Amino acid sequence: MNRQLVGRLGIAVIAIAAVTAGIFILGDNGSPPSPPSVAVVGEPSLSSVPPRTIMATVTSTSTPPAPSGYQVVFELAGTGTATVVYDANGLGLVHQELEVPLPWRKEFSWAAPGSIQLLGQGSGAVECRVSVGGRVVKTQKSAPGAVAACVS
């Protein structure tokens, strides 16, 4: 049998099953079925329940949840201005900023660890530094006019 024909027949069967299930669930008139009636017989009065004292002590032993994500800080040190290329979320989408005054700093909150990409180039020496969770994970200093690259 032809694969296209088999695929079309499969889709038709699924569509018919969905329509049939919808009619069965909603009933003949298109409205959801009403819940069954429940009769309450002999409701207790408040006077028939003896008074009780309930005491509870709640102690919390759980620690507060840790902050989600990773705090990432990109920094460029040097004098003058620089061209900066960086990945703001660790997923490879780079941003470029021209003639930023040094020192330069950007902070991000990433959902998961990603690839680090921070490049800086100025007329003088530039130092790039990347911190994750307050700990420096990459640093590099360039020669005057060269690119400082913190990439992993």
pLDDT tens for the 152 residues of the chain, in order = 555 544 455 454 454 544 444 455 555 555 555 555 555 565 555 555 555 555 545 454 544 444 457 899 999 999 999 999 998 888 888 889 999 999 999 999 888 888 888 888 998 999 999 999 999 999 999 999 999 999 88
Query: Exposed/middle/buried for 134, CB within 10 Å: 0-12, 13-18, 19+?
Result: exposed
Whole-number pLDDT of residue 111: 86
Q: How far apart are CA 29 and CA 33, in angstroms?
A: 9
Q: How far apart are CA 129 and CA 55, in angstroms?
A: 57
User: Phi, psi at residue 114, to the nearest 5°?
Assistant: -140, -170
Whole-number pLDDT of residue 149: 92
What pTM was estimated for this model as a whole?
0.54
Whole-number pLDDT of residue 40: 55
Which of these, 92, 90, 79, 91, lies nearest to 120 by C-alpha position? Answer: 79
Whole-number pLDDT of residue 115: 82
Domain positions in the chain: 1-34, 70-151
Q: Per the CATH hierarchy, to which homologous superfamily does domain 70-151 belong?
A: MmpS1-5, C-terminal soluble domain (2.60.40.2880)
Whole-number pLDDT of residue 137: 93
> In the numeric block, which tokens belong to residue 106?
């950007």
